Amino acid sequence: MDFVLVDWLRILCGVWLIPHLIGKGLHYEKAGGTFEAAGFKPGKLFVGVTIVAEACAAAGLILSVYPRVAAVFGALVLLGAGYAVVKINGMNWRWQKMGPEYPIFWALICLLTALV
């Protein structure tokens, strides 16, 4: 079967989750504080749940194991990140002002790969 554009998008969506996993793992304490500032309490618990969800999403998207479920997990995590950005920084729709447009766009791409 030939690889098509949606396969590459699915894989890229999974690969781009890996730096987020590493960042949360390396800065677990700080991430917990950020989660609490966004209203996710207890912060450390939400960091752990997010790491598990991102790991499942990344593996599923990259390896095409239940890719639709993985894409939904990824989208939920990213929509949560978009919410957290707005909660912490206000509704600024530009990356220069720490806006939510990047995680929202990425979540939509994950959802599109789930629908195809």
Mean pLDDT along residues 65-84: 94
Residue 86: CB atoms within 10 Å: 17
| pLDDT tens string 4-55 | 888 999 999 999 999 989 999 999 999 999 999 999 999 999 999 999 999 9
Q: What residue segments make up the domains of the chain, in order of their start? A: 11-115
Taking the C-alpha atoms of residue 51 and residue 37, their distance in angstroms, rounded to an integer, is: 18
The pTM (predicted TM-score) of the whole model is: 0.87
Confidence at residue 98, expressed as pLDDT on a 0 to 100 scale: 75
Dist CA 54 CA 24 (whole Å): 10
Res 95: pLDDT: 63
Query: Is the pLDDT score of 2 beyond 80?
Result: no
